Structure 1
Amino acid sequence: MISIAPDTLSRALAAFAAIVGPDNVWQGAEAQAAYADAMAPRDPATYAPVAAVAPASTEEVQAIVRIAAELGVPLWPISRGKNFGYGGAAPRLPGVVMLDMIRMNRILECNVDMGYVVVEPGVGFDDLYHYLVDNNIPLWISAPAHTWGSVLGNALERGVGYTPYGEHASKVCGMEVVTADGSLLRTGMGALEGSGTWHGFPYGFGPSWDPAFMQSNFGIVTRMGLWLMPAPRQTVNLAMQLPRVADLPPAIDALRPLKLDGTVQANPSFGNVIRNLATRGPRSEHYQGSGAMPADVLEAARLRAGIGHWNFSIRLFGDPEINAINARKVRAAFAGAVDAEFVESEWNGGDLRNSGHPVPSLGALGVVDWLGGPGGHLTFSPVSAFSGAEAWKQYTTVRAMFEDAGFDYYGGFTAGQRYLNHITMILFNRTDEAMCVRANDLFVRLIDVAAANGWGEYRTHTLFYDEVAASYSYNNGALLRWNEKVKDAVDPAGIIAPGKMGIWPRRYREAGR
């Protein structure tokens, strides 16, 4: 493993301090504690940074990168470092310097007429929500499950929310990027001086590079345009609880045509019974034994809570007349598929008691203490075809593996336009060393079994980048080899996030990583 010589690190940190001020540079134990994986399944010291620097502007990022390139100091950029379950702020390897952009927290532009916002990396979903609400701006955010994180960072990691704009990566339009030599480029129409459509037309001329800076280490994104959803006149919520586990396949097949034809534009999520129970309290309220909860105990807990084996909501947005038509279509589609009824609620514009705007929340974080604190989780998130049969195969396979390893199956299927994201969490107690080992072993097995069935993860925990990257093995790993060629061309010194998404620079590959 490549490491930074002490004198080189000292020179770099002194130069960084001259750029950002000494109060914005940390090293040693202080940096390790601040950027440790808050839900680490392994000893966080094994992938801890040696230092951190927090710039306040794009120009400071450029200056830092130039010094890092000159001295060969690897940087690990983060926006807010709240990607819990996927490694949080922790880097892929020890010995790097964190490039923490949390001080870059400005909302640079909000164009109400065109429906977009331009943000820096440190802007969180709660920041953007309050900006819109406090200024009475009729645009909505699409919030993910927990909203402590970065709007920009979530989109770059292809995170999702639950409005029609929920596929955040697809709503990105125009980036500003610091490259590995400290240069600055703008993607799309931003490459044209004086363009008035940088954040309106997503492609520009020639190759489109916005997607290439997502889930990669080819550059450091310091600003991003994001399309926001105009506030609808009405929202209708159709909630359903499915009483049988086997109701999942027909429900998914009933939803698919409604997604394809645009009747349902948001991303419904079919959450299982454990996912619901974990938001209400610890497992000890239902079961004190070891291993996965027995089926009869789980059924009794479900009935006491008054929930389904699968619980989901379909939300419709727009004019009341159109919502009424679409609600009838949804009810008719499910009427012949499952033996359950929708419970309907609505919000109408002008109701001052309820703004209707998706409200940021940290409530989802409470599920990590399902087994008692301090809890942690590893998120395993394979993609499958939008098919009830395929979802059932994936569910039964993954659930059996969870239970064989002694874990409760916690999961759900989020419906995209033509695919399903199967979001599962291995919930564990971080003080139980044996349980942490089992969680790690299970995760590796899940990657292998998923790949054997053609189910690829769409993102993963920092510690498992290499395993997931290797599972995309078509033509002897042609995609990874291509990514390495791009990395070597645009970052020959290998200083930006070495190892992110399994993409290692040449000097790390030659050194055996």
Structure 2
Amino acid sequence: MPSSPLPTGVDAGSFSAALAAFRSALGESGVLDTDQDRRTYIDPYAFGDGLDHESSAILAPAEVAEVQEVVRIANRFGVALWPVSRGKNYGYGSAAPVRRGDVILDLSRMNRVLDVDVQQANCLLEPGVSFFDLFDHLWADNIPLWMSVPGNSWGSVVGNALDRGIGYTPLGDNCEAICGLEVVLPDGELVRTGMAATGQGVTWRNYKYGYGPGWDQMFMQSNLGIVTKAGLWLQPEPEMTAAVEIAFPNFDDAGWAIDILCDLRRRDIIQHNIVFGSPVRAASVLTQRAEWYTGEGALPEEAERAMMERFGLGWWNAKISFYGPEFLVEGSMRLLRDLFEARLGKPLDFKTWHKGQPYEGSARGVPSTVGLQSVNWFGGRGGHLSFAPVMPQDGARVLAYAKRVKDIYREVGQDYYATFTIGRRHINNVSLILYDRDSPASTGRADTLFRRLVTEAAREGFAEYRGHIDYMDTIAATYDFNDHALLKLNNKVKAALDPGNIIAPGRNGIGGRA
């Protein structure tokens, strides 16, 4: 491949003219097009060198008006843009575009916390605001509001929500916490959704739906516009929290335990997304594989048991937290004890916190990047991707599916890393796939495993909710009702709003790759 790719359908002369126009709009510092610049934005977890998703340049606007002008210039020259909020979407392609040569539009300079309304428990953010930025803002001003935090917090609050990422505290379905968006459309027009569309936007962050169709969802996981501001709900600081880690000793415990936890989640007794994970989930963050096994093939069961013994884990492990007034938290703790202590044969060890005590002892969401340590599982240059199909809340079905998937991992020669993340009415089976980027055998196993998991899930009627850039078309194809009617609808809307296919061609299978 050439060292400097061109955008699809754009010749060298036209692209040179486009770059000059972008520089005029953004200044020299807003256009990055050296070899080093382009390499910096390659997916750090890519199979091989990642050049099959290399961009031709990176644009870095700092204001909404600059985003609008960039979009107008892109339309004039036929240059496709790949918008990212901060480009930290690790495990899904990071900042890299689906198509080689598309220009990355990096919004990380737009990183202002524009407003926090303490009484109404919401905030207004630009897309470059990271989880650390928002946490620091709330902490520095002693604002009694808490935020949802995902496992890896390097990324954008808004970007994570737009890709339907999750956290593990109340309001942890991050896309559901969004309330009103400001969006640059594919022709450069600026629109606001919901109550933000009124002249003053006084109730922008209070009511999601506005008048007529609600368009917020249209801009989530889509390529129909570029979000430049988002309203977001926050959690008022509770009076008390309590947290407990529960270890379930046997693989088959998944069946009954998931049924109980799902019932508590459906009734909002447990107010957050619940992680229900296997031993490798913890061990991959704290250790490397060679400490447990150096042979060929998947980890043997004795290695998994050794992890459980060293770290005090069960075969499945869940962390449960409660938030609210003391009487509610205490009542929830009693209920959990009644449901689990007799079955497990030991007491649950809760860690409690009361308002005014140091936050370190609370169940508050605190940004962290510790989870990224898992990519060092094999040593060297590691990476991960995941397949996370949406499943019904049915313990017996989950257990049967887990057994089949564990067998597939073993057949491929991959270490079984599974998390069942329990939402309000669904479960995501996050099947993480760890690999060594410098080993063709390891990356080959990862690719084989991913494709087999797609097939197995589709056979059950399950499908992924979020996609890596290498597999977006593959995942979109599993939504096949009535000859892929949903994909056809998405493409009709795309063609109407973005006839030049300027915004993120191929994102989630929409807009095509040609």
TM-score, structure 1 normalization: 0.96
User: In the TM superposition, what whole-angstrom CA distance separates every residue of 1:171-223 from its partner, at most 9, and x where no partner exists?
Assistant: 10000000011000000011111231111100001110001100000000001
Aligned-residue RMSD, C-alpha: 1.4
User: In the TM superposition, what whole-angstrom CA distance separates every residue of 1:90-145 from its partner, at most 9, and x where no partner exists?
Assistant: 11010111100010000111111111011111100000000000000000011000
How big is the shift at 1:267?
1.3
1:210 to 216, 219, 235: 216
Name 1:403's counterpart in structure 2.
410
How far, CA to CA, are the matches of 2:63 and 2:484 in structure 1? 38
CA contact (8 A) 2:9 2:78 kept: no
CA contact (8 A) 1:241 1:340 kept: no
CA contact (8 A) 1:31 1:49 kept: no
CA contact (8 A) 2:341 2:348 kept: no
How far, CA to CA, are the matches of 2:226 and 2:245 in structure 1? 41
1:257 aligns with 2:263: yes
Relative to structure 1, is the Cα distance of residues 411 and 367 closer, same or farther in structure 2, using a 3 angstrom cutoff? Answer: same
User: In the TM superposition, what whole-angstrom CA distance separates every residue of 1:253-276 from its partner, at most 9, and x where no partner exists?
Assistant: 111221122211111111111101
How far, CA to CA, are the matches of 2:466 and 2:40 in structure 1? 23
How big is the shift at 1:247?
0.8
How far, CA to CA, are the matches of 2:173 and 2:343 in structure 1? 27
Name 2:354's counterpart in structure 1.
348
What secondary structure is seen at the aligned counterpart in 1 of 2:358? coil
Name 2:241's counterpart in structure 1.
235
- The amino acid that maps onto 1:32 is R
1:417 to 416, 424, 429: 424
How far, CA to CA, are the matches of 1:462 and 1:353 in structure 2? 38
Name 1:481's counterpart in structure 2.
488
How far, CA to CA, are the matches of 1:30 and 1:484 in structure 2? 35
How far, CA to CA, are the matches of 2:112 and 2:11 in structure 1? 35
- The amino acid that maps onto 2:319 is S
2:466 to 459, 466, 473: 459
CA contact (8 A) 1:381 1:460 kept: no
What secondary structure is seen at the aligned counterpart in 1 of 2:482? helix
How far, CA to CA, are the matches of 1:331 and 1:93 in structure 2? 52
How big is the shift at 1:355?
6.6
Name 1:426's counterpart in structure 2.
433
How big is the shift at 1:441?
1.8
Q: How does 1:94-173 map to 2 (within 5 A)?
A: 94-173=100-179
CA contact (8 A) 1:347 1:354 kept: no
Q: How does 1:27-426 map to 2 (within 5 A)?
A: 27-335=33-341, 338-339=344-345, 341-352=347-358, 354=360, 356=362, 357-426=364-433
Aligned residues: 507
What secondary structure is seen at the aligned counterpart in 2 of 1:493? coil
TM-score, structure 2 normalization: 0.96
- The amino acid that maps onto 2:156 is S
How far, CA to CA, are the matches of 1:391 and 1:492 in structure 2? 43
The more displaced of 177-186 and 299-308 is 299-308
Name 2:479's counterpart in structure 1.
472
User: In the TM superposition, what whole-angstrom CA distance separates every residue of 1:125-170 from its partner, at most 9, and x where no partner exists?
Assistant: 0000000000000000110001000000000000000111100011
- The amino acid that maps onto 1:209 is W
- The amino acid that maps onto 2:366 is V
- The amino acid that maps onto 1:435 is S
CA contact (8 A) 1:163 1:265 kept: yes
State the identity %: 42
How far, CA to CA, are the matches of 2:340 and 2:389 in structure 1? 26
User: In the TM superposition, what whole-angstrom CA distance separates every residue of 1:5-56 from its partner, at most 9, and x where no partner exists?
Assistant: 1111111111111111112211142232121011012441011101111000
How far, CA to CA, are the matches of 1:188 and 1:129 in structure 2? 26
How big is the shift at 1:425?
1.1
The more displaced of 480-489 and 229-238 is 229-238
CA contact (8 A) 1:240 1:340 kept: no
Relative to structure 1, is the Cα distance of residues 341 and 396 closer, same or farther in structure 2, using a 3 angstrom cutoff? Answer: farther
1:447 aligns with 2:454: yes
What secondary structure is seen at the aligned counterpart in 2 of 1:496? coil
How far, CA to CA, are the matches of 1:337 and 1:169 in structure 2? 36
Relative to structure 1, is the Cα distance of residues 277 and 144 closer, same or farther in structure 2, using a 3 angstrom cutoff? Answer: same
- The amino acid that maps onto 1:201 is Y
The more displaced of 433-442 and 337-346 is 337-346
- The amino acid that maps onto 1:402 is Y
Unaligned runs of 5+ in 1: none
What secondary structure is seen at the aligned counterpart in 1 of 2:229? strand
